[in-house]
C-alpha cells in the first residue's frame, strides 16, 4: 500500500508519514524477500566467531562494490523506526531523513514499526535487500539483549544486519520520589539493604534499558528492589512523581525537567564521568565503581550493503552530528552524546557488550517467553 498523501502544515508526523511534500510509492511486495530467518542455534563459541566476522566485515571493502556509491541514492530511502512516532528513535530517524533530503536531494520517508522489544522492525529490516535503501534506527537492546532474552529470535543480530554508524548514547538518571529518605546513591543502598523488597522501581517493559540497568544495579550492590513493569517511561515516571513507586532509571533528558520542578530528585547519573552539561550531578560510579546506566542507538542496514554505500552514509551521519546546530538544538537539549564513528566501532560495541547482558539475563533469570 502506498503511503498517505502529505499535506503542508500538518501536525506531528504519524506512522508511515513521508518527510516530503509529496508521497513516494513503496516497492511492490514482490520485490521484497519473504520469510523470517531462523536464528542460529550455536553456542558461545559460534557467537564469538560470528561477532568476529561482523567486525572484520566492517573493515573490508571489496573492489566489486566500488561503483555503487556513485549513483546512490537513486530512489527512495526508507528509515525504519522500531517505535511509535514522537519518541527518541523517531526523532533520530526524522532528523537523518531531513538531511538526506537536503544534502543529497534524496527522497526519504520514515516508517514506524513498533512492537515486541524492537523485534517487529528488526525482523522486517532483516528481510529487505541489502542495497542501502532500507535503514534501521537500532536500539542497542535489539542486538545485545534480545538474543539472550528470546530463545527463538527470528533474526540473527550479526548475520542479518550491516552496521553503518553509531548515533547517540543516552545516560540514565537514578530518579527517586522526593519523599524517599535517601539523598545519595550510598544512602539509597543502605536504605535498600535495611528493607529488602520494600522499595518498588518502575521500568518500561521486561528487557528494556530501564529494567536491565536497575537489575544490574541490584546485582552489583546487593539491594532488592521490586520491579513494576509499565508500557513506557512516561507512565512509570508519573508514578514515581505521585509516590506510587519509589524510583526508576530514566533518561537524563526526561528526568531533568521534573527534577528542576522539584517533583523528583536525581541522586546519580549512569555516565562514566560527570557530564559537562550537569557538572553538579554525581555519577553512580563515584559510589559503585565501574557502574554505568546507558542506552544507545545505531544506524544499520540489512545484510550485504556494499561497503562504499556504507561509507557514504557513515560520512553523512558524522557530518550531521558534527553540525554545531545539531549539537546545540538536539544533542545538548536532550543531554545526548554523539556516538557517530566508524562501522567498526559500532560492531565492537555490540561484540563487547553482549556477553555482559547475556550473563545478567541468565543469572537474574529474566525471561519473556
Contact between 39 and 156 under an 8 Å Cβ cutoff? The reply is: yes
pLDDT tens for residues 102-124? 999 999 999 999 988 899 999 99
SS (H, E, C) 29-60: HHHCCCCCCCCCCCCHHHHHHHHHHHHHHCCC
List the beta strands (DSSP E) in the chain: 77-81, 108-112, 134-139, 161-177, 200-203, 226-229, 247-251, 264-269, 294-302, 336-338
Q: What is the pTM of this model?
A: 0.80
pLDDT tens for residues 20-39? 333 333 334 433 333 344 44
C-alpha 250/C-alpha 171 separation (Å) is 8
Q: What is the pLDDT of residue 14?
A: 42
C-alpha 296/C-alpha 171 separation (Å) is 9
Percent of the chain with pLDDT over 90: 76
pLDDT tens for residues 41-90? 555 555 555 555 555 555 544 444 445 778 999 999 999 999 989 888 99
Q: What is the pLDDT of residue 48?
A: 55
Dihedral angle, C-alpha 196, 200, 206, 207, nearest 10 °: -70
Q: 275: burial class by Cβ within 10 Å (0-12, 13-18, 19+)?
A: middle
Q: What is the pLDDT of residue 67?
A: 55
Radius of gyration of the chain (CA): 21
Residue 277: pLDDT band with limits 50, 70, 90:
very high
pLDDT tens for residues 152-192? 899 999 999 999 999 999 999 999 999 999 999 999 999 99
Percent of the chain with pLDDT over 70: 82
Q: What is the pLDDT of residue 50?
A: 52
Amino acid at each position: 500500500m502506498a503511503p498517505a498523501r502529505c499535506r503542508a502544515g500538518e501536525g506531528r508526523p504519524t506512522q508511515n508519514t513521508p518527510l516530503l511534500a509529496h508521497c513516494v510509492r513503496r516497492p511492490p511486495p514482490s520485490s521484497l524477500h519473504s520469510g523470517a530467518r531462523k536464528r542460529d542455534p550455536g553456542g558461545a563459541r559460534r557467537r564469538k566467531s560470528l561477532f568476529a566476522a561482523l567486525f572484520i566485515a566492517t573493515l573490508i571493502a571489496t573492489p566489486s562494490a566500488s561503483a555503487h556509491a556513485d549513483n546512490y541514492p537513486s530512489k527512495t530511502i526508507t528509515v525504519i523506526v522500531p517505535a511509535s512516532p514522537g519518541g527518541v528513535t523517531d526523532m533520530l530517524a526524522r532528523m537523518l531523513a531531513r538531511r538526506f533530503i537536503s544534502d543529497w536531494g534524496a527522497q526519504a520517508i520514515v516508517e514506524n514499526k513498533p512492537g515486541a522489544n524492537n523485534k517487529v522492525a528488526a525482523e522486517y529490516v532483516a528481510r529487505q535487500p541489502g542495497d542501502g535503501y532500507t535503514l534501521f534506527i537500532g536500539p542497542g537492546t535489539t542486538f545485545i539483549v534480545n538474543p539472550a532474552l528470546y530463545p527463538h529470535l527470528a533474526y540473527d543480530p550479526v548475520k542479518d544486519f550491516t552496521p553503518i554508524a553509531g548515533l547517540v548514547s543516552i545516560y540514565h538518571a537514578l530518579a527517586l520520589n522526593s519523599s524517599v529518605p535517601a539523598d545519595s546513591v550510598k544512602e539509597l543502598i543502605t536504605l535498600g539493604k535495611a528493607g529488602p523488597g520494600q522499595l518498588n522501581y518502575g521500568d518500561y517493559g521486561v528487557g528494556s534499558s530501564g529494567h536491565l540497568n536497575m537489575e544490574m544495579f541490584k546485582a552489583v550492590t546487593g539491594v532488592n528492589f521490586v520491579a513494576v513493569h509499565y508500557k513506557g517511561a512516561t507512565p512509570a515516571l508519573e508514578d514515581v512523581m505521585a509516590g506510587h513507586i519509589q524510583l526508576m532509571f530514566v533518561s537524563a533528558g526526561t528526568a531533568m525537567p521534573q527534577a528542576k520542578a522539584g517533583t523528583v530528585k536525581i541522586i546519580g547519573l549512569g555516565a562514566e564521568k560527570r557530564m559537562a552539561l550537569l557538572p553538579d550531578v554525581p555519577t553512580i560510579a563515584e559510589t559503585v565503581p565501574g557502574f554505568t546506566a546507558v542506552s544507545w542507538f545505531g544506524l544499520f542496514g540489512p545484510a550485504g550493503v556494499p561497503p562504499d554505500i556504507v561509507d557514504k552514509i557513515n560520512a553523512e551521519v558524522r557530518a550531521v552530528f558534527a553540525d554545531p546546530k545539531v549539537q546545540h538544538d538536539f544533542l545538548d537539549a536532550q543531554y545526548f552524546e554523539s556516538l557517530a564513528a566508524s562501522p567498526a566501532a559500532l560492531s565492537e560495541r555490540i561484540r563487547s557488550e553482549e556477553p555482559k547482558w547475556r550473563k545478567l539475563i541468565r543469572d537474574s533469570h529474566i525471561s519473556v517467553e
